Chains A and B, each alone.
Chain A
């Protein structure tokens, strides 16, 4: 595919359930980012990967959030024991350079609703 893809596009979870959100970056892109976007707000940084290495996870809200990119391509964001405050759109972005300091290409996002 030509762009960043994310699945599922929509996820409804009951409070306390675990969820897994998938991101397929643009082929060959080294850097991968996860952002969380609350309604009416701009995206907030969650975590950053350079290939398979998670270089920064300072934006993850709690230890219930976990991200991985084991082979340096597809990434999964996992949220354990979901809470209502986790409801948001989760955006994935990738960029070509190892520095991550070039144009970031965003996927369509996964809208998570926790009931």
Chain B
């Protein structure tokens, strides 16, 4: 069974600092790796999807890398803003099926 771990569980940084969020997974036979954002009381918003054949994806201030062999993905958020405060979840989609296996998330607070 795929196990996904996110460390740290919580992170607090001053505005303007770059954020680095880590995700690790136990089964490297993934189809893709997805990063989501969840605001309190809301559903999940897809941020980036990295196919297993890719090494990274970028969208604006967000950059996600994928290293399948080591079972790791990292989400970088440049020049953080208070509006970036949320919980960030990573999810691995299996190579043999469509299930998303989620980590427990990293809750980010960006202080103004």
A residues sitting closer than 8 Å to B (CB atoms) are 4, 6, 31, 33, 35, 40-45, 48, 56, 59, 91, 93, 99-109, 111
Contacts and interface: CB of A to CB of B under 8 A. Distances in A.
Given A42-B4, A101-B32, A101-B93, A91 B44 contact: yes
B43 A100 contact: no
B70 interface: no
Contact residues of B: prevailing secondary structure: strand
Interface residues of B, number: 24
B42 A42 contact: no
B75 interface: no
A41 B4 CA distance: 11
A44 B31 contact: no
B98 A109 contact: no
A42 B89 contact: yes
Given A42-B103, A42-B104, A42-B105, A103 B44 contact: no
Interface string B98-109: 111111110000
B34 interface: yes
